[in-house]
Amino acid sequence: MDDYIEEVEEKEKLKGDKKIPAGKLFARNVKYMRLEWPRFLLSGILIVINVLLDVIMPLVFERITDSLTAPAIDLKYILVLTAVYLAICIVNNLFLYAESMVLQKAGQNIILKLRTEVFTHIEDMSQNQLNEMPVGSLVTRVTSYTQSMSDLFTQVIVSVIRNVMTIIGVYVIMFTVNVKLSLVMLIPITAVFAASMVFSKVIGRRFRNERKNISDLNSFMSENLSGMRITQIFNREKKKDEEFSEKNETLRRSRFRIVRAFGVYRPLMTFIYVSTMALIFWMGVSLGLSPGGIFAFYLCLGKFFNPLQQLADQLNSVQKAMTASERIFNLMDVAPEVRDRPGAVELTDVKGRIEFRHVWFAYEGENWILRDVSFTVEPGQTCAFVGATGAGKTTILGLIVRNYEIQKGKILIDGIDVADIKIKSLRKAVGQMLQDVFLFSGTVKTNISLRDEEIPDADIVDAAKYVGADGFIEKLPHGYDEEIIERGENLSQGQKQLVSFARTVLARPSIMILDEATANIDTETESVIQASLEKMKSIGTMLVVAHRLSTIQHADRIIVLQNGRVTESGTHAELLAERGYYYKLYLLQFDRRGDATGGTPAVPAATE
């Protein structure tokens, strides 16, 4: 079993997670606790008062019991003691309530800040990093794991402190009642702590295993819910059921290992408790303790073992929280690959001149996607990129906005290295229209404005009209207030693309990127989009990737890529005259008439 768990932990390390020493993990949690130190200090004072009142109760009961068994019963004295006991109970619970409210306020404030930090950190990561991280795992860390840490701050730590203080306080009270019997109690106490240490070590590894399996299941669910259409089209439901059942069974087994560990530990604690109770009565009578003394010891035993039992149960929450915090801090320790350099500048008064100087790029090692790529696009020009799948077209567009960092060469905008430009400033100047349009939950209006409340509705409508999106929007039942369902499934691909065009125009970029935005669109919608593109060319520099050559025939410049290198460059007519790779693509898509002016499509557009 231990070998299996170690193997799982090693796999986690390969995925980027690592074991953080307990001391460092605790110190990082304390850093967040310092943010709410006045509340934690107040709760600490309340805990001390609460524990003191709690451990005093057995002594009051000892007096009451001895008074009831005395030859002459003093009823008034007994009533006073009873009133005192009742008052202690009421005050104790009031302090307990106040402590709970203070802790909840502190804990929720910490988790609010932590969740925000984690989400912001994820936003700062590069596309390359996000592609390597399962979405389900990220969601689990932002939601589920932060909730486990909330329990750590609001319940677990304080409960552990209270229980430890209670154990110490009760043991002091035992000493005041009978020293010999208190020393005998060290035997079961030692047994409890020894069992707890072994249990803690075993349960810690099993909890880490369970959390990993939960993350795997969440990732599987997220991926397959997103791809359910493909599963149904290809009748793969049975296969997916089997995969889900396998992961579900793995999670069940890991959870059952935890239950089994608790199944051994809790009965063991109960056995020690019952044995100790019998020992108290036998030793109490042997040592000649009064009935009140024996009863006080009995109450102390309950107040002593109950915290011990709770400590055992709280090990569950402690391990969950520490494992959760370890996962969260592992994520926070992943430094964003793309960051602003010291002294990075704002990009202002953008003209739109783009230059690649001997650019080399690889996603991994020296598996080069781009090899010594150089070209220049002048301000206001429309430049198109063509080539086979994997030639590096989309990669070039991603490098311009620094989705990734290049290994060699330079990329310049208006003569400034993009690496020396602030990322937000750079991306603000570049509008991107991609093939796979992502629409957020909300209305058509909020998807165009991206929920920027400062943008007037009139500007949103103007942007939609500019790209021709107003035609279909105004036909929707609620117009611009039409609700978009998940992933925009109530809109066609062409309608979603027009929304993305309006979104881009509204941002008023100086450079526009069009990455196969006309793919998989019907002829009628394509004509609307083509008209929109012609208008958008006047906005600024435009970079286009399209497998339909009809989309790019009128580009100012066409760059042909093969195996990550620029092999041809020129206008549509110039490239046809060269009779190179571009000419071959043209022959595949158009009539074989050989003229340089273009032709009409003879076959449906082929993939690159």
Contact 370, 392 (CB under 8 A): yes
Contacts of 239 (CB under 8 A, 6+ apart): none
Residue 569 and residue 582: Cα distance in Å, rounded? 9
Token pair 């950190």 is found at: 121
The 3-state secondary structure of 529-575, one letter per residue: HHHHHHHHCCCCEEEEECCCHHHHCCCCEEEEEECCEEEEEECHHHH
Among residues 57, 304, 297, which one has the least CA distance to residue 163?
Answer: 304
Integer-rounded Cα radius of gyration of the chain: 35
Token pair 């781009």 is found at: 370
The segments of the chain whose pLDDT lies below 50 read 1-14, 592-608
- Is 0.85 surpassed by the pTM of this model? no
b or e along 541-576 (b: 16 or more beta carbons within 10 Å of the residue's beta carbon)?
A: bbbbbbbbbbbbbebbbbbbbeebbbebbbebeebb
Contact 307, 166 (CB under 8 A): yes
- What is the secondary structure of 166-207 as a DSSP string? HHHHHHHHHHHH-HHHHHHTHHHHHHHHHHHHHHHHHHHHHH
Counting beta carbons within 10 angstroms of the beta carbon of residue 337, is it exposed (0 to 12), middle (13 to 18) or buried (19 or more)?
middle
Q: What's the one-letter identity of residue 100? A: S
Could you tell me the CA-to-CA distances from 300 to 84, 251, 295 in Å, in that order? 18, 41, 9
Among residues 123, 122, 126, which one has the least CA distance to residue 398?
Answer: 126
Among residues 288, 53, 339, which one has the least CA distance to residue 180?
Answer: 288
DSSP for residue 153: I
For residue 500, what pLDDT is reported?
Answer: 87
Residue 516 and residue 414: Cα distance in Å, rounded? 25
- Pairing type for strands 408-413 and 442-443 reads unpaired
Q: What's the one-letter identity of residue 174? A: M
pLDDT by residue (tens digit) across 479-520? 999 998 877 778 888 888 888 888 888 888 889 898 876 665
Among residues 518, 568, 520, 566, which one has the least CA distance to residue 546?
Answer: 518
Largest CA distance in the chain: 125
- Pairing type for strands 408-413 and 483-484 reads unpaired
Q: Which domains does the chain have, with CATH numbers?
A: 14-332 (1.20.1560.10), 354-589 (3.40.50.300)
For residue 494, what pLDDT is reported?
Answer: 82
For residue 338, what pLDDT is reported?
Answer: 84
Q: How far is Cα of residue 203 from the mean position of the Cα atoms in its chain?
A: 25
pLDDT by residue (tens digit) across 9-37? 444 333 567 788 878 888 888 888 888 88
- What is the secondary structure of 389-402 as a DSSP string? TTSSHHHHHHHHTT
Residue 324 and residue 357: Cα distance in Å, rounded? 46
Token pair 């509204």 is found at: 506
Counting beta carbons within 10 angstroms of the beta carbon of residue 288, is it exposed (0 to 12), middle (13 to 18) or buried (19 or more)?
exposed
